[in-house]
Amino acid sequence: MKKTLLMIMTVLLLAGCGEKEGKNPFYSDYSNKFGAPPFEEIKVEHYLPAFKDGIKQAQEEIDLIADNADAPTFANTIEALDYSGELLTKVSSVFSNLQSADTNDELDAVAKEVSPLLSEHSDNIYMNVKLFARVKALYETKDELGLNGEQARLLDKYYKQFVQSGANLNDEQKIRLREINKELSALSLAFGQNVTKETGNYKKIIENEDELIGLPESVKQAAAEEAGEVGKWAFTTQKSSWIPVLQYSENRELRKELLLAYTNRADQNNEFDNKEIVNKIMKLRIERAQMMGYDNPAQFILENTMAKTPAAVMDFLHLLWAPSLRQAKAEVTELQKMMDAEGKGEKLEAWDWWFYTEKLRKEKFDLDEEAIRPYFKLENVRQGAFDLAGKLWGLQFRKLMDMPIYHPDVEAFEVSDTNGSLIGIFYTDYFPRKGKKVGAWMSSFREQYKKEGVDHRPIVVNVCNFTKPTADTPSLLTMDEVTTLFHEFGHALHGLLSQCTYPLLSGTNVSRDFVELPSQIMENWCFEPEMLKMYAYHYKTDEVIPDELIEKINATSTFNQGFIMTEHLSAALLDMYYHTGNKTEDVDINQFETDVMKQIGMIDEIIIRYRSTYFSHIFSGGYESGYYAYKWAEVLDADAFEAFVETGDIFNKNIAEAYRKNILEKGDTDDPMNLYLKFRGAAPSPDALLKKSGLK
């Protein structure tokens, strides 16, 4: 369970750890004054014993709660449950983070062994008849318990988790559900590992510089350093490597090869192929949902989200799909005209889109993204995000030079409130490497919670895969990477500013279609003129970005939105078509994907953002039936940012404080729409997003 929990009894600790006490870092309090994990002391061999002991101790605590002869109370049942399993949470938080950000074959082997143990442990909790009887007794008398809002929310959430985890099933069904959960855990792990290995294994080596025509020198230099040999250039399926090729390379075959290498990951009919895994995952999810009384997985999963139903999600996606597709088709026409003018007789293909879009951007707006990147030095952009948090909420960031880190790329910062009190610790890990998953995410080494009068402050991390520095050039971000940095920083703030009592409700532990609001609202500030003046300085001259460039950047705010929206929405629709299915026979995964794209009218010139075999969000990342959440939250963030714009001050402290108090600090202590209404006063409309995207 993803929680930070109660200190176990000394007798249990001694029973579980024995002579290991003091040798394994997980069995002792962390000595760092901020309670950060001692990464330099943690070895691979420490994980498995700590997992096993953590599970053992957590189970002993659960048994004490379930076997308690006293009548159930909120304190002796729900609160005790939420604070249980401290050692397990301790080792899980470190392991899960490193297994995503800095894994190797040894860690992957541990994950494979631990996965079924964790699945079984979760089932042992949620299928515990005596424990559920206590939870159910409290739930059925909740109006008589005198609970505050947060306590009532926690009780409600636990009761629903028990029910959705099979507590009401008969014994035979519970046995089968345990088997399903264990299989799903192993399959999801294997899916993610396959994607990571496929990404890490691919490298395109170029030995003839003539094949690199059109590429900026900075891109060629990065490729030369990736190759590590004089006279060679290497490109990978990391976005920071292949996207510049698609944008600038005159070599059409190279563009095609790299795009197809990226989009065919885990679809090579080799040992890392994910098609069979996708089939198995979907069959098991359908079986589980139907066992629970639902027709399909989407019904089962969406019940506790803002959207509530698959119909609401599909209506929302199609509302955005029609104008997005219409705009994408108009963009195809415009790009094809550019190609026709070259007289080559070529038809626009997916590997041409980025290249001709970049040309069109220059033609329409006289804007070359390579001319902007010198103003987006990574350290300056990060400082800009810090300064934004300072202007809005008075937060202060101080770099810590003596903090334990898990990789040399990682940096740590102490975050303080306006009065100097500790907010939390913030780690950043920004560059791609072998053993690191693609993409960008926020996670926690410790979540915020309060216990016995002590406010345990969070330790969070942002992990990204940005353009790496070279021997003579710092990391210079693309506009997309700038947006990603602000996005993930928004997630970090959601975790850092949490002011909740209970671990299960704190920070980012909210529904998928609400969790993206705090991240995506931060993107709105990125390229505002006032904001750019705060962080966009030329890395060589320290010259602030000129007004002329700012005007060009903002003129392109709705440029290429047909592509951007269509690429993303098609993936959200594919997710929903998978999870609204109710048949358990095998399907041809590629044909299924093709059929869905045909049904929604997807155009050939755009490839879906995530093809099935590397759609980690929904097959190994917890976003199943939930990828729509990004667009759902874009509606919220467009409306929420408008609250600042309406005042004429995008740094309005009163609005910022209301947003902090009603959204960022509240975690999942209330229904998300209630929290939003308390902040904004009215529900948002999709019109805000359509307007922002230039589609209305």
User: Which residues are annotated as catalytic?
Assistant: 488
Which phi and psi angles does 91 have, rounded to 5°?
-75, -35
CA dihedral angle for residue 602, residue 603, residue 604, residue 609, rounded to 10 degrees: -50
Q: Taking a C-beta distance cutoff of 8 angstroms, is the pair 613, 272 a contact?
A: no
* Token reading at 266: 């885990």
- Interior/surface letters 169-199, b for 16+ CB within 10 angstroms, e for the rest: beeeebeebbebbbbbbbbbbbbbbbbbbbb
What CA–CA distance (Å, rounded) separates 291 from 299? Answer: 12
What CA–CA distance (Å, rounded) separates 339 from 329? Answer: 15
What CA–CA distance (Å, rounded) separates 351 from 258? Answer: 9
User: What value, to the nearest 5°, has the Cα angle with vertex 264 and ends 259 and 270?
Assistant: 145
User: What value, to the nearest 5°, has the Cα angle with vertex 1 and ends 511 and 664?
Assistant: 35
Concatenate the DSSP letters of all residues of 336-354 into one string. Answer: HHHHHHTTS-PPP-HHHHH
Q: Taking a C-beta distance cutoff of 8 angstroms, is the pair 504, 89 a contact?
A: no
* Closest of 437, 464, 467 to residue 266, by C-alpha: 437
* Token reading at 57: 């101790």
Helix (H) or strand (E) holding 381: helix 378-393
Q: Taking a C-beta distance cutoff of 8 angstroms, is the pair 686, 320 a contact?
A: yes
Place of tokens 């449950």: 81
- Interior/surface letters 663-693, b for 16+ CB within 10 angstroms, e for the rest: bbbbbbbbebeebbeebbeeebebebbbebb
Q: Taking a C-beta distance cutoff of 8 angstroms, is the pair 671, 678 a contact?
A: no
Residue type, 176: R
Judged by phi (left if over 0) then psi (alpha if -120 to 50, else beta), residue 648 lies in left
What CA–CA distance (Å, rounded) separates 305 from 157? Answer: 12
* Token reading at 109: 């082997």
Q: What share of the chain is helix, strand, coil (3-state, %, to 5)?
A: 60, 5, 35
User: Is residue 423 classed as helix, strand or coil in its secondary structure?
Assistant: strand
* Closest of 676, 392, 311 to residue 517, by C-alpha: 676
Taking each helix axis from N to C end, the angle separating 239-248 and 252-263, rounded to the nearest 10 degrees, works out to 150
* Token reading at 241: 């490597």
Classify residue 660 by its DSSP letter. Answer: I
What CA–CA distance (Å, rounded) separates 248 from 362? Answer: 12
- In the chain the first and final C-alpha atoms are separated, in Å, by 43
Helix (H) or strand (E) holding 110: helix 105-126
Place of tokens 């990060």: 382
Place of tokens 């406010």: 455
What CA–CA distance (Å, rounded) separates 530 from 582? Answer: 51
Judged by phi (left if over 0) then psi (alpha if -120 to 50, else beta), residue 601 lies in left
* Token reading at 419: 């009065």
What CA–CA distance (Å, rounded) separates 106 from 609? Answer: 31
